[in-house]
Structure 1
Amino acid sequence: MKISLQRTIAALTGALDFVGIDEVHHGKRVALFAFSIANELAWEKSRCLDMLYAGMLHDCGVARTEEHRHLTDTLEWDGAQAHCERGETYLLACPPLQRFATTTRWHHTRWEDLAAEPLTAAERLEANLIFLADRLDVLLAHYITADGLKNEILWEYPAIIERLAGMSGCQFSPELIGALQRAAGREEFWLQCDPPYVDEVVDEHLMHETPVELSSQEALAIAGLFARTVDSKSVYTLEHSTRVAQLTRYLAQARGVTGVELDLLEIAALLHDIGKLRVPEEIIDKPGSISIQERAIVRRHSYDTGRILKKVFPNLPLAEWASMHHEDLIGTGYPSQLHAKDIPWQARLIAVADIFQAMSQDRPYRPRLDSGAVMAHLDELLAEGRLDAELVELLRRHVDNCYRLAVHGELPA
């Protein structure tokens, strides 16, 4: 499976930025600051690019809006380490991105404390660079508006640099602070972070990178990383994406699907809810009915999923398979109100697996249902013409195993 690993990182970073709800591009701005400072230090090009990627991935352990707010409200927060450790765990489980695990793990640790950790000199400097770039972006936030970057930054930035320089030797490496002071004197250092330009500037750094041939297992590992981030938004959705993917693969195999198509289906199912990173957890965790405004926020997640996956897999059908999981066969679904003839069977299968797993899982507004009650609900939807009859019957024939997968994530021994 040939994809641009670099562009995949950039596209999925855009999904992580949804966690801020009202603030986007944080990951890419951190990446650009880190790249610029590394460049100022005359690091090798490959190392500078690794700092670009590390900056985009540094918050892969953040899924909850409340956590994001704490991280952006102050320069230091006592609870910051939790997302660093989650991010390290996610990256270690993803072979194509493992090399960024150490930087992610230590990117909120003070410079004076890094010396006591089992790290090389290069690892300490790289982790501290991401910390510096991350905190610099927090201070820049005051100058970011819906329309763009405030021009005031071009004459008021010395106060930001002076504040960070005051932390030299304790929070930040003196070497990195010196490079920041030199780089910050150039207008382009700040203007590259103007919201209309951020994506374009990142793309310019990536345009000469060679696509990487990934095995299906490596692509699945990347999808799994982001699925875990999505599912960690709420205790009620833990393992949801993973188990929908297991159900989808199991049922597709029962239908006779093999090879690359089977892997693509699993990837699409793993990422079907990636657009939900934009939905605040207070809506996901709400025990009662949601308002019309909250429903609108929830309903856009499948569209967001499609837009993200089109960037990651531009020449594959994964985006449509994943983004159609809330369509139904009679045209009353979303986001496109498609009818049966326009919905491929792969999307119909993910829809069935998604409903079955969600009904088999505890949610804030109800406990999980037993397999009989779940099938009764599917039969109601089937009677209304919303679901694919063949796929519902396929699930019915394997309902015991499917329920085991939905609830426990494993088949009987």
Structure 2
Amino acid sequence: MNKKDLDISLLDLTLMVSNAIDLISPVLNNHHKQVAYIAYNIGKELELSNKNRNELVIASLLHDIGCLNLGDRISALEFESENAYRHAVTGYFLLKDFEDLENVGRVIKYHHLHWKRGKGKYYEKEEVPIESHIVHLADRISVAIDQEKEIIGQVNKINTIIEKNSDTMFHPELVKIFQRIKSKESFWLDVVSPSIDDRLRKMWAECNLQLDLEKLLQITKVFARITDFRSRFTSIHSSGVAAVAKALAKELQWSEADCKKIEIAGYLHDLGKLAIPNEILMKPDRLTDEEYNIIKSHAYYSYHLLDEIDGLQDINTYASYHHERLDGNGYPFHIIGDALEEGARIMAVADVFTAITEDRPYRKGMSCEKTLDVLADMEKSFALDGRIVELIRLNFEEMNHIRSLAQQRASIEYESFAQEVATAGEKYHE
């Protein structure tokens, strides 16, 4: 196992989350990246500090993080969205508990607030960050682009739409900055470039903020909410898997750093489920063959999302191979025997153990006896590693307590989040 501490780019991690959000619906792929590029250029013209510009990029890449289902995603892509506040404030509630993203969360919270001839400078006596109005303008510029048509010929039409809403929807000073920028063909060609990731990385080079292992653990806990908080049905699963995987790694004498890595992998292992429709994820009945095939794709998506980030190779292996089997009949890669690393074997056991012992809306978690029977059967059929199953057998009460405690905490977090979103309302009030 790699003992080296991690040093992960916050931009790369955020780009990965942006790509994951696109899996919910590919209606406007790269929308968040376009918004980030546009917003950064407006912020640069406004002479924002490097720190504020970098937070602006992150906020732009995550601005639709509150669109937890396809309906919200489509609505957010309408030029004047009726429920804009709901998804904006949902994004804020998802991020606000992570100190390093607190300012980003505030920017997202107000990114659909109209300027209203200066009234939008404040909301409920709180000063609205200018970055929120920049993201709002950049977001609507991106939405106004017809992605199927040549871009340069659309500039005048887009400018007319934006100018018409200056001082009402949009901050007039920001509109003037946009009108200066829009004359450059290179600006528009960058916006729609298939290499927009490279453009963003060049901009980010001014900061290049990196995450150590502890920061990565904290932020992946937050990002796991995007997957888990789509419904009460899935709201606590990743927390249970992460806790059990870490406990099993400790039993196997893994180092503290490596235990953190597998805990991070536990939080990220179902990231690819953002590509799976909610009606399949939450279906209480037996899945059809077609539905099961769709479910099986989630580990594939997790792998390729995480594979884009330098330094996450070990974590990706642990996270994305959790449905592989020792006999090679798992999915989606059919890795066999010794080629399946110990971390992936731990994650597979942790995932099964958590899934069958946790309560679901349609059934109670299994008893100790039944759980051990299921794990023993999977061991005999060469689905799971017998050495790791034995650790569950010898430490069942402790492992179940660790799972239960982690999921109780996650449940409290989810209920608090759900209550905050429910009471937030659908739109900004006058």
Structure 2 residue 112 is the aligned partner of structure 1 residue 114: no
Structure 2 residue 222 is the aligned partner of structure 1 residue 233: no
Match of 2:260 in 1: 263
Match of 1:339 in 2: 336
CA contact (8 A) 2:33 2:196 kept: yes
Q: 2:350 aligns with which of 341, 350, 353?
A: 353
Task: Provide the TM-score with structure 1 as the length reference.
Answer: 0.89
How far is the alpha carbon of 1:362 from its aligned partner? 4.5
Match of 2:135 in 1: 130
- Matches of 1:293 and 1:310 in 2, distance apart? 27
Give me the identity figure in percent. 28
Query: Deviations for 1:289-325, whole angstroms, at most 9, x for unmatched residues?
Result: 4344433332222122122223334364111111110
Q: 1:203 aligns with which of 196, 201, 204?
A: 201
- Matches of 1:294 and 1:314 in 2, distance apart? 33
Q: 1:144 aligns with which of 141, 144, 147?
A: 147
How far is the alpha carbon of 1:207 from its aligned partner? 4.3
- Matches of 1:367 and 1:23 in 2, distance apart? 40
- Matches of 1:139 and 1:361 in 2, distance apart? 45
- Matches of 1:252 and 1:411 in 2, distance apart? 22
**Structure 1 residues 197, 293: closer, same or farther in 2, change over 3 A?**
farther
CA contact (8 A) 2:39 2:134 kept: yes
- Matches of 2:324 and 2:246 in 1, distance apart? 20
**Structure 1 residues 313, 351: closer, same or farther in 2, change over 3 A?**
farther
**Structure 1 residues 315, 231: closer, same or farther in 2, change over 3 A?**
closer
How far is the alpha carbon of 1:119 from its aligned partner? 3.8
Segments of 5+ residues of structure 2 without an aligned counterpart are: 1-5, 410-430
CA contact (8 A) 1:21 1:280 kept: no
Match of 2:285 in 1: 288
- Matches of 2:400 and 2:361 in 1, distance apart? 20
How far is the alpha carbon of 1:11 from its aligned partner? 2.5
Q: 2:311 aligns with which of 311, 314, 317?
A: 314
Taking only aligned residues, the RMSD between alpha carbons, in angstroms, comes to 2.4
Segments of 5+ residues of structure 1 without an aligned counterpart are: none
SS of the residue corresponding to residue 23 of structure 2 reads: helix
CA contact (8 A) 1:7 1:206 kept: no
- Matches of 2:341 and 2:233 in 1, distance apart? 29
Deviates most, 106-115 or 331-340? 106-115
How far is the alpha carbon of 1:94 from its aligned partner? 1.9
- Matches of 1:174 and 1:45 in 2, distance apart? 23
Given residue 62 of structure 2, which amino acid in structure 1 is its aligned partner? Answer: L
**Structure 1 residues 292, 178: closer, same or farther in 2, change over 3 A?**
farther
Deviates most, 159-168 or 231-240? 159-168
**Structure 1 residues 186, 328: closer, same or farther in 2, change over 3 A?**
same
Structure 2 residue 28 is the aligned partner of structure 1 residue 23: yes
Task: Provide the TM-score with structure 2 as the length reference.
Answer: 0.85
Match of 1:89 in 2: 93
**Structure 1 residues 336, 400: closer, same or farther in 2, change over 3 A?**
same
SS of the residue corresponding to residue 311 of structure 1 reads: coil
SS of the residue corresponding to residue 409 of structure 1 reads: helix
Structure 2 residue 54 is the aligned partner of structure 1 residue 57: no
Alignment of 1:58-77 (within 5 A): 58-77=63-82
**Structure 1 residues 297, 187: closer, same or farther in 2, change over 3 A?**
farther
How far is the alpha carbon of 1:240 from its aligned partner? 1.0
Number of paired residues?
A: 401
Given residue 199 of structure 1, which amino acid in structure 2 is its aligned partner? Answer: D
Given residue 225 of structure 1, which amino acid in structure 2 is its aligned partner? Answer: V
**Structure 1 residues 315, 18: closer, same or farther in 2, change over 3 A?**
closer
Match of 2:426 in 1: none
CA contact (8 A) 2:317 2:343 kept: no
Query: Deviations for 1:56-106, whole angstroms, at most 9, x for unmatched residues?
Result: 12223333222212212452222x323323322332222332331210111
How far is the alpha carbon of 1:258 from its aligned partner? 3.4
**Structure 1 residues 27, 357: closer, same or farther in 2, change over 3 A?**
same
Deviates most, 343-352 or 364-373? 364-373
SS of the residue corresponding to residue 358 of structure 2 reads: coil
Structure 2 residue 179 is the aligned partner of structure 1 residue 154: no
SS of the residue corresponding to residue 385 of structure 1 reads: coil
CA contact (8 A) 1:404 1:410 kept: no
